[in-house]
Each structure stands twice: as C-alpha cells, then as structure tokens.
Structure 1
Amino acid sequence: MARRGQPQAGARRTAPRDKRRGGNGGGGGGKDRGDTIAVLARTVREVEAAAQRGPVTPSARTKFQVVALMLREEHARVRADVTTSETHRTEQLKRLDGIATILAKTAVRDPALLALLADDAVVSSAARSLKQDMLRAVGIEEVAPAQPVAAAPAPERVVPQSVVSRQLANPFLAPDFSAAPASAPRPRRLAGWELLGPLLRSFERAGSGEPACMPLPAPTTRHVPSGVALMPHQAQLVASAAAGHRTFLLADEPGLGKTAQALLAAEAANAYPLLVVVPNVVKTNWAREAGLWTPHRPATVIHGNGETIDGFADIVVVNYEVLDRHVGWLGDFGFRGMVVDEAHFIKNRTSQRSQHVLELSERIRTRTVRPLLMALTGTPLINDIEDFRAIWQFLGWIDETKPLAELMTALDETGLTPADPGFYPAARRCVIDLGIVRRRKVDVAADIPARRIADLPVELDGAAGRSIRAAERDLARRMVSRYETALANRRSGAVVDGIDTELVRRVARWEQKDAAEASTGENVFSMMRKIGQAKATLAADYAGQLARSAGKVVFFAKHVDVMDAAEETFTRQGIRFSSIRGDQTSTARQRNVDAFVNDPEVAVAVCSLSAAGVGLNLQVASNVVLAELSWTDAEQTQAIDRSHRIGQTEPVTAWRIIAAQTIDARIAELIDSKAGLAARALDGSDEEVSSSADVQLEALVGLLTEALSA
C-alpha cells in the first residue's frame, strides 16, 4: 500500500470484475474512478453524520478507516496519472481534498479516529473486507501483487539465550485442549444485532447506585505468606481466583493494593509461568513485590534484549516499550497467566503496544485451557467509554466486532435484545459478572485518611505573565476571525440570533486540530507549556516551604523544563531532592524512589506526571504539589494516589498551582467538571458521563464564547 501519497510500484493492481477495462479516456480513470470518488464522498458523509449524532460506533469507525485508506491510494493514483488532462486531474484532486477535509474534521471529534489516520495503524479484518466491497461496487477488484512487495522493516526480534536453554531442557508438548469447553454457538435470537455499542452504552446508562463489581466469595488467607497481611477486599479477589474464576478487570481505586492481589491470584490459580506487562517505571518494583508476596516463585525482569533474564523463572516482567522485540518468544513460552498493569495504556487498539498485548493474550488463550488473565487499572476510563474495548478484548470477552462465546451466552440467557427497555441493565450485569472488580477506598479502606485538593491561585507578573496574556488574546482574536469569516461565507443563509454555539464549537475544533498538527507557533498546547514554565519557580518555592514545615513533598510536572527549573530552585535553597523521570533506566529510577522513601534528608521527589504518575508507592509524603495541570482528571487522580494509598497514615493534600486569570484556571474547572466518567460507569453514580478528552475543546469554546460576548 502506498504511504503518504507516494505510489509504490507493484503494491496493488486493479482489474474489473469480469475483464480489464480499456481506455475510456485515461487508463481506467474514467467512469470507474469517478464512481470511486463518489463512493468515498458518500461514505465519508455517513461517517460524519454518525460522529455528529454521538459516540462513533464500530461500523462507522471501520468506514472511516476504509475511506482513509482508499483516499490515500486514490490521491496517489490521480497525481501519477499522465493520461488525463490537467484540468480533469485538478478537478479530481480537488474532490479528494474535500473528502480529506471532512475526514480531518470528523477525526477531531474522537481521538481513536485520529489514530486510524496514522501510517502504521493496524487495518482490521472488517476494514479490509469493506474496502473490497466498496471497490467491487465500482467494478474494481483488488488483486494480489504478482511479485512480493517489500514490507516495512519489522522490529528486531530477539530470543534470549536463557530462554533457549529452558526450551532445550524442557521442550513443550502440544497443548492439551481435552478439558476445554465446547464453544457455544452464536444464539440465533441475537444474530444480526450490533451488540458492542449497546454493551458499552449500558455502562453509560448505569446509575441507580449499583457498583460495577462481580459477586465475590468470603476472604481467604490460604495463599498469603507469613509475615504479610491482606486487607479483606484483597483477600476476596484471591478467593475468587482460588474458586476458579479466571478473568478479571481489577479496577479498584488507585492505592488499594492491586499488585498484591494479582500476584496472589496467580498463586491461587497456579497460573505459572506468569507474564506481567507493565510501564517501565514500575517493572523493578513488580519484581520486589513478587519477592514479598510470592517469595518461593522466582521472578525475572526483561531489560533491553533480555541478556540478563532467568529463562527458568516463574514470573516474567516486561515493560510495554520493549515488548515488540520479545513478543515472538513470549508467545511460545507456555504462559498460563498474563497480567497487564495500568491497562488503560492499551486503550488505543491500533497502537503497536496494544496490538502486541492483544496478540499475546490470544496466543495464551489458544494454547492454555482457562488461563488467568488480569487487567489492572484504577482508571480504566480516561477519555471515553470506548476505552473499555481493548481491555475486554484482552480478557477474551469480545473480539473486534462482537461478544465472544461466554458473554454471548450470558446475553442470550437474559431473553432480551437491545430493543427491549431492560436490556441495558441486564447487559451491564452480564459484563460485570465476567470479572469486573471495582472497590472504592471509602468503602473498603476507611482507615486510609481522607484526601483533598486545594487550589492555590498565583499571579503571573513580569514579562512572562504579559507574554502569556498576550498569547491568549491573540488566540482569541484568531478564533473570532475564523468565526466571523465562516459566518460571512455561510451558504444556507440561516440567521442566528446572538452567538451561533454550533459554529463556535466547529471553530474550536478547527483550532484544536491545527494545534495538534502544529510544530511551531502559538496554540493552546504551547500556551499551557509557557504557563507551566512561568509557574515553575513559584510552585517550587511553595513545595520548599511545605518540606520545611510539614515533611516530605511530592512535586509533579508535565514538562522537563518545568522539572529542571524546580530542581534549580531546590538546589539554591539547599533542599535535597530525588528526580523521577521517564528518560532514566529502571534501576536509576528505583534508586531515586528509594532515596526519597528511606532517606530522611531527601525532602522532595520531583516527578514526571507521565513517568511517575502510575505504579509508585510514595505514601511517605502526605503533601503533593501539582505544578502543571493534566488534561484529564484520571491522570491527576493517579498522581495524587501515589501518596493516598494503603500505608498512608496522614490526610493527603494535593496543592494545585493555578495561574489566575488565564486559561489555566478555566482548564482546572473543566477537569473538575468532567470527573464523572468512571464514577458513572463503574461506581453507579448519577453523575453525567463526559469525555475528559474534551477538556481542550471546551477550553477553546469558552475562550471564543467569552471573546464574542465581549
């Protein structure tokens, strides 16, 4: 397939359904190709309309990807076609550019659609099938190339020598499927129903105060080693695994000890060897936790190409970043269990790391009878209810298009279809009973002290403050100009009294798209970075005061230059600190964590939101300073819960440093207003569900509306 508009020789040839068509005024570029563009235009309008109606369905997402693929190929073909007139070629390119514009505007509504525009996006089987159907509709058949096409270079795959030694010492027998249950036939009553969309919406419509937690048995301490203790909610999960349950979305709120639950569940299920996939920042800590909770099970950590791993270990820990080079031998290793930590990392199913995780899960399920599969995340819903899809697929509850046998059977037994009013609560219950476990701190760990978020407004004075306010005014003026131009060029002639709110949102989406694609110039992202830089010293000063008066402090920032400025401030003030960043090796990062936790002289941990916001235990501190705002409530919660977790003995306060009278304050309000997604979907709250991904958009909408009102 051609990439980025460049034709690739031999990559694809086309033939008519019965025989190759002749000239028709341009090498097959006449009626057939005109029909192709018309089909693309019609299909992209269908996708646009679907996106405007609400959440994008799987079928609309498939259409979107097919249009993107065919558009790229058609654009390359038209540009390379020298048999047609320049006027005709220009007209076709103009029509294709119009389709591309609609695609781009539609993609802004849903981050998952943006991912499908990437060159390396995985093409689903449904998309390949639909593409062939659309080509056939205009009399074109996609034919396999006569000569092999050079594929993009695959990532380097490695097989560590210790793994080879293990395989030679204990060759694997063919998998034994004799105990596997017969696959349940697809119930005829639900044949033809699109079920994944209704299943996801069943969590949006939840409410009624019912939490998303499967029934759990009485706690057991049978598998707990001496010297450590489980809380009752942790022991319940282990008891469920001991009783035979094998798939879990363990979505306990951050800080409730999911690592211990996963390790002991594997022990209860005898799910060894066990594969654990984790963010790089916590893989060393996972090995430590394994030594604490399952001391008789040797654990090994894969670093780089894996030269130092123990091929005979029971627990193999690997981070997402190196999974691509090890996925081959991991799939053949004979794992009987797999744990994915911070499972929201795989929410984008088209990303490479998600594809590797899903591939490994499928290979384990096809060669192991009832393996233990666990997805761990305190924040499974970051942006949208669609974030569930990849996790459910990892657990084997669904595939790309439909529920799989166990879930389908459960849905069939309800006797309902999506047309029945009672379908949604019943469907939600069916999914929960497959293994969703969600507990809140307030319910199961009342002895953990309370936490609160306190906002500290700061005034940005001097040149930096003036520059930020000027940039904000320029951004508002630019959007006002776009709004007025669009209003003047409106063809419908419709007159709107006052501000056209729909046009305001459209202009905000254009600005959001431009900002996402821009590498230079002023936009909402560069403004937030400037604000972070301007707040850095003020935030560090406050953290230093807290450290001197109240003890250890965790300091979070998004950008490296903000961390640098804070560390320079601490150095000038004679305050010792540890730095926890994404570019450190796991050994160096753990050494810095240990220094902060164990050395009374190390007063501050300067942490990256992305690198240290998950998986770390920093409950030695009860004060957290958020020098920069996240775009999502989930990321903010993850950061705070590094301190607010089991083992904390004091109330935790998160101090948000807010730049007063700037877009920073508006974003803080939006983050707080959009915190209800997990509460609604998982905790049975009546709070309205809304996507945290819209914080950027809503901030721009508010800025433009305020400017127009003025």
Structure 2
Amino acid sequence: GAGECRWWWRSGPAGCSGRCSRGVPRQCVLRSGDIVALLEQEAELAGAGVRVVWPERLRTALSAAAVVGTPDGGTDEGSPAGPGRAAGERPRFSVTALLDFRWQVALDGADLSEEEMDALAEAARPLVRVRGQWVLADPVLRRRARHRLLGRLPGTQALTAALTGTVTVADDTVACRPAGPLADLIGVLRRGEHHPEAVPSPAGLTAALRGYQQRALTWLAHTTRLGFGAVLADDMGLGKTLTALAFTLHHQQCAPGPALVVCPASLVATWCREAARFAPRLPVVAYHGAERTLEAVTDTTLVVTTYDLLRRDAARLAERHWGLVVADEAQHAKNPASATARRLRALPSTTRLALSGTPVENNLSELWSLLDWTNPGLFGPLTAFRSRWANAAEKNPDGAEATELGRIVAPFLLRRRKTDPGIAPELPAKIDRPRPVQLTTEQAGLYEAVVRETLQQIRDARGIERNGLVFKLLTALKQITNHPAHYLREQPPTSGESPAFTARSAKTAALVDLLETIRASGEAALVFTSYVAMGHLLTAHLTHLGHDPLFLHGATPLAERTRRVDAFQAGRHPVMVLSLKAAGTGLTLTRAAHVVHYDRSWNAAVEDQATDRAHRIGQHRTVTVHRLITRHTVEDRIDELLTRKRALASAVLTGGDRALTRLTDRELADLVALGEHR
C-alpha cells in the first residue's frame, strides 16, 4: 500500500516489528517512517554486515542530472544564440553568454515538468507516486528537486560541461547534459565531419574534391556557421590548400567579406597559383613586395600576405574587417606571446581558420595557442588549460585528462592522417631507412677535443653562460659529424679537392654513394640539412661530381624559389639540397622518390614535415627516407636517451633542444661522449 515496503530477510533479526520466525525467509511491512530510517541508516547497516537490497526499478527510476542551457530555446541573455538571429538560422555560440545551470529530475529518462518536480520536492516521504508508479526518492534527489537552479554558467564552462558530459557541483563530479539551443549546437559539433547535411562544392571551384576534402568542407561550413573557428590539421600533402579555397568560396557565398591568407613567404606564390587554377573567378591580391596595396580589395577578394608583413603592416591590415582569416602553417604563431601571434589576434574577423599539419610540435601549449586564436577565450587562459588538462596529458597520454581533452578539442580540430583508412589509398608507401656511419679519424679527433674542452668550461659555468656553452657544444658536435669543413668554416671545395673532401666525412661519403645509386636508377632526391653553410658545401661538392643540384634556403628570392621548384619538378635537375627551416613546409616536390636527412633536427615533427614535401598527394612512387646517423655520437644516442630517461624525454617533449641545457654535467657527458654508450 501507499507508503509501505515489504522487507525480506533470511534470518529474522531480533526486534523486528513484523510477525516472523527465525531461520525461515519471511517478510515484514515497513511504514513511511521506517523507510526513512532505513535509508538514513543504510551505511551503518552495511558497516555492520547487513546489506540492504532495494528493487532495482524502485531505486533507479528517478534520476537527477545537471542541465545547462535555456530549455525554452529563446534568445535571451542565457542563450548561446545572439540577439537578432534570423528565423531558422542555427544559434551562434558566444563565450560571453550566461546560460541557465540547474538540476533536472527525470523518470526513466523522461524529464519531469516543473510542477512534477515541485510535488516531488514537497513530498513528505521518500516513497512517492509519479506518473502512476511508485518510485523511491532519496533525500539528495528531493533536495535537488527543491533547489533546482544552480546558477548561471559562462559560455566557456557551459560548453566544456556539455562536451565532457560532466560538471563539478560542490566538489562532486556529476553527469551534465545540454538543453535548448545549446543541445542543438552540441549535436552539430559532435557529428564532426560526418554531418548528414553535406555541403556541396561551391560555385566557382573547378576542382573535384576528394571524399575527405568534401567532408572537411562540410565540417568547416557547419562549425563556422555556429560562430566557431576551426583548425584543419590534416597531414602534410593531403590538400589543405584546396580545401581552404573551397571553404573560402563557400564562406563568401554565405557571408560576403574579403578573405585574408597569412602564410610563410615561400607559400605566397603557391596560394596565388592554386587559386588561379582551382578558383579562377576568385579575385586574388598578393599583398607582397614593395608595391603592395589593398586598394583593389572588395568583399569577394582573397588577399595573400606573409607573417613578416603581418608584423610590419599590422595597422594597415587591421584597418579592414575580414570575413575570413586563414593562418596557413599556423604553427608560426604557436607562441602566444610572440609578435606574430599578437598581430594575428588583432585582425578583426568574422571567422578564423588555422591550417597546420603539425598542430603540436613540442607541447600542448602550442595546441592551445591555435585553438585560442580560432576561438578566443573558449578554452580559458593558458595557465588553466595546462593545469586542468595539458600537464597530466603530457605525462600520461593514455590518462583520463588526455581522453577528456580529446573530447573537448575534437569538435574544433579535424585531424586526418595519410595512413587512416580511406583517406589516401592511392598514396604509395613510405620506407624509413636509417643509414648509420662511422666517424672518420679526423672527425673523431675533432669530436673528442671539443667534448673535452667544452665540458670543462661547462663545469665551471653557471646560468645563462652555461646554457650558451651547452648550445655551443651541441652545435659544434653536429657540425663535426656533418663534415670537418663545416665545423672549421672552410670554403666549398674546388673540383680537384672533391675526392679528399668526400673522404674527410663519413656522412658525405655515404651521401655520394647513395646519390650515385639513385642516379643510376633514374630517380630524383631531396637532401635536407639544418644548416645553410652545410648546404652550400654540399651543393658545390655535388656540382663537381656532376649531379647538377639545386639549392633552396631562406635567402632564396621568391621568384627564384618558384623557378627552382618548377625546374626540379620538370626533371631538369635530379638533386635538390634544401635547408630544413626554409623548405620544410609548403613545397610540393613529388618528383623525388628519395628523401635524405643529412643531419638530425632533434624534432621528429620537423623531419616529417620535410619528408612530406615528397610523400604527398600527387606522388606515385614509393618514397624512401634515408637518415644519415653517425654511430656512437650524440646523434646516435639521443633516441635511446629519450626512451631510457623519462625526465629527459618529458623535457625534450615540452621544450625541444633547450631542455638539454637542464641536464646535469654527468648526463651531458653521457650524451656527447664518443664511443658505445655505457
């Protein structure tokens, strides 16, 4: 009956108010007061070894969850939609919005009305009848029904709670779900690239998008329509430029306004060429060179400029409101305190799109920088981002914080790899082939002398002076392993000096043998080095050997850079030497079937970027990657050390080679010592 519960037990306890006999399963009737007492004393009973088992249906039918959003779907201050939104238009999210945050009680997953929750809150007993059925409402649930309004959450916190499905209330982590327009918004975000409402290729695009590019266009269109920016982080070589051009055309159809592309100087010509090829009716202005001007810019113009000019002409570029700003190779703004990042943030824009094949080169702070530029304030300040997610995720990529961060980031960052199923099945294989070599006698003598002399100086130094000496040591050792002439700053060899020049360096000898084999097979090669000086030495030497190489580095003028790339792609030169920093991004060099890393960069992401100049869409040959590594030196030892020493691995992950300055004298000596590792 109402307010009664039948209690079964296997050995009747003394003092039971019901009629029973010991040792035989019986039942007794509990009144409302008894039920309350039983609920309150359940923990004490468990401590005494008495387990109370409630009928599952009775206890779990009612549930309470934290809900964020405006249930009525209006456009007031608490809604993620901005005022004045057109009928039928999806709500646009605002980080400054304040959204209702409350408890919502549900019966079997169906929300109770305000009147039903009022009745539940006012019930005098825990066993209540709701919608024709008896359910158990514990004191905590009834208290939540009585005090439903928890307050209002800022847009950033509301979005985080909705995406993770949890929120902290009074130091307890509880389930949370969105309501009203926020629920609709979250539904779109969670669909990602697989949104059922596919966005067609825009008018004016003359290229046929690949399936994954079409999905990226759909994702960009739906995400930005909600008021968010986005990071397209596809692997190098998967055609992010074409996807961005398609999105630019789509965006201008929906929201007219000039588009601005900011990119490295080496990519200005690429953007202009790709736009002329794939969007011939799109007016393009290259804001570059001494005659640069914005006078011809209209609402349908695409302006292409460089990060350097963004810093120099910041005021002029910020005078306009840009409908779309695209930051290509956006890792150039990965340091939020840099002048580049500050100028990029100062550009007035409706929509922001970051393109980067390496959204994280060193640490998750770089990821925050890209996300915070595309969606200002959405992920909170950097210190809070690192405290809540990044620090723990970097230490344990398989931990809960990393998983939660992934759920939050996923709606705003699209990442596809060449190896993902169905992405680029026609892309040929990539073979990684380390080529260990031994130092020559001259190299070994120089190496040991530099180590001995510099380590003694390091032991006697402190602070900035010590850091400088560590960098000096590492640089000297890398130069010695490249070639003695590199370390000794000698002039490039003459034709008659070529045999002796080859014999002085094990790496040079290995490179010469390798290129002879590649030439005999009629194939082409890219040779990357971290040093322009070494590039000049190699270019001169390979010229004397008849390879007719091209050389591309940071000081190469833009027009000449384009000419050399075209000449290589046309097959007029079988070898191209490139400086890693200047040529590691933005080039398409699919003529090459071989990539040679002459020296190590200490950063796998940078090497992979360079390799992707050849291993990208348009490549039809298997790409072989040759890494020249001098055995028993600092080059040979770094990978082993990263694996063996967790502290060093973490430091290098979060700080590149600067982390090496924090090694102790003993650790540094172990790192650079010549010979087999002890």
TM-score bucket (shorter structure)? 0.5 to 0.7
- Secondary structure in 2 aligned to 1:336? strand
1:617 aligns with 2:588: yes
Shift of 1:690: 6.8
CA spacing shift, 1:178–1:543, aligned 2, 3 Å? farther
Partner residue, 1:155: none
C-alpha distance in 2, partners of 1:380/1:233?
Answer: 19
Deviation sequence 1:353-373 (CA, Å, 0-9, x none): 11111111xx22xxxxxx331
C-alpha distance in 2, partners of 1:448/1:255?
Answer: 10
Find 1:586's aligned residue among 549, 555, 558.
558
C-alpha distance in 1, partners of 2:287/2:626?
Answer: 37
Shift of 1:349: 1.4
The answer to whether the 8 A contact 2:554-2:579 is kept is: yes
C-alpha distance in 2, partners of 1:293/1:228?
Answer: 6
Deviation sequence 1:60-116 (CA, Å, 0-9, x none): xxxxxxxxxxxxxxxxxxxxxxxxxxxxxxxxxxxxxxxxxxxxxxxxxxxxxxxxx
Shift of 1:515: 5.8
Q: Where do 1:398-477 residues align within 5 Å?
A: 398=377, 401-402=380-381, 425-426=403-404, 428-433=406-411, 435-443=412-420, 444-476=423-455
Partner residue, 1:704: 669
Shift of 1:442: 1.1
Find 1:238's aligned residue among 217, 227, 236.
217
Shift of 1:650: 1.5
The answer to whether the 8 A contact 1:320-1:353 is kept is: yes
TM-score, reference length from structure 2: 0.60
The answer to whether the 8 A contact 2:262-2:326 is kept is: yes
Shift of 1:305: 4.2
The answer to whether the 8 A contact 1:632-1:671 is kept is: no
CA spacing shift, 1:456–1:353, aligned 2, 3 Å? same
Q: Which has the higher contact order (CA 8 A, sep 6+)?
A: 1
1:327 aligns with 2:314: yes
Find 1:391's aligned residue among 347, 358, 370.
370
Deviation sequence 1:28-60 (CA, Å, 0-9, x none): xxxxxxxxxxxxxxxxxxxxxxxxxxxxxxxxx
Q: Percent identity over the alignment?
A: 26
1:336 aligns with 2:249: no
CA spacing shift, 1:697–1:353, aligned 2, 3 Å? closer
Shift of 1:255: 1.4
CA spacing shift, 1:667–1:311, aligned 2, 3 Å? farther
Find 2:358's aligned residue among 379, 383, 394.
379
The answer to which structure has the higher strand fraction is: 2
1:250 aligns with 2:252: no
CA spacing shift, 1:300–1:673, aligned 2, 3 Å? farther
- Secondary structure in 2 aligned to 1:691? helix
| Structure 1 residues not aligned, in runs of 5+ | 1-175, 203-211, 365-370, 412-420, 483-506, 676-686
Q: Which amino acid aligns with 1:581?
A: H
- Secondary structure in 2 aligned to 1:638? helix
Find 1:260's aligned residue among 229, 242, 245.
242
- Secondary structure in 1 aligned to 2:432? strand
C-alpha distance in 2, partners of 1:674/1:447?
Answer: 39
Deviation sequence 1:181-238 (CA, Å, 0-9, x none): 6641277879799989x99xx9xxxxxxxxx993433665532767632211111011
Shift of 1:321: 1.3
CA spacing shift, 1:287–1:668, aligned 2, 3 Å? farther
Partner residue, 1:568: 540
Shift of 1:612: 0.4
CA spacing shift, 1:522–1:227, aligned 2, 3 Å? closer
Q: Where do 1:524-673 residues align within 5 Å?
A: 524-534=474-484, 537-538=508-509, 540-550=511-521, 551-598=523-570, 600-669=571-640
Shift of 1:674: 11
Task: Quote the RMSD (CA, aligned, Å).
Answer: 3.9
| Structure 2 residues not aligned, in runs of 5+ | 1-81, 86-91, 102-149, 165-189, 390-398, 485-504
Q: Which amino acid aligns with 2:282?
A: R
CA spacing shift, 1:436–1:592, aligned 2, 3 Å? same
The count of residues paired between Structure 1 and Structure 2 equals: 458
The answer to whether the 8 A contact 2:526-2:592 is kept is: yes
Q: Which amino acid aligns with 2:266?
A: V
Q: Where do 1:140-219 residues align within 5 Å?
A: 179=85, 183-185=96-98, 214-217=192-195
C-alpha distance in 2, partners of 1:267/1:232?
Answer: 18
Shift of 1:455: 1.2
CA spacing shift, 1:297–1:657, aligned 2, 3 Å? same
Partner residue, 1:294: 279
Shift of 1:648: 1.1
- Secondary structure in 1 aligned to 2:445? helix
Q: Which amino acid aligns with 1:372?
A: T
Deviation sequence 1:437-489 (CA, Å, 0-9, x none): 0011111112211212211112221423310232234445556x56xxxxxxx
The answer to whether the 8 A contact 2:234-2:416 is kept is: yes
CA spacing shift, 1:458–1:654, aligned 2, 3 Å? same
The answer to whether the 8 A contact 1:629-1:668 is kept is: no
Shift of 1:390: 1.7
TM-score, reference length from structure 1: 0.58
Partner residue, 2:74: none
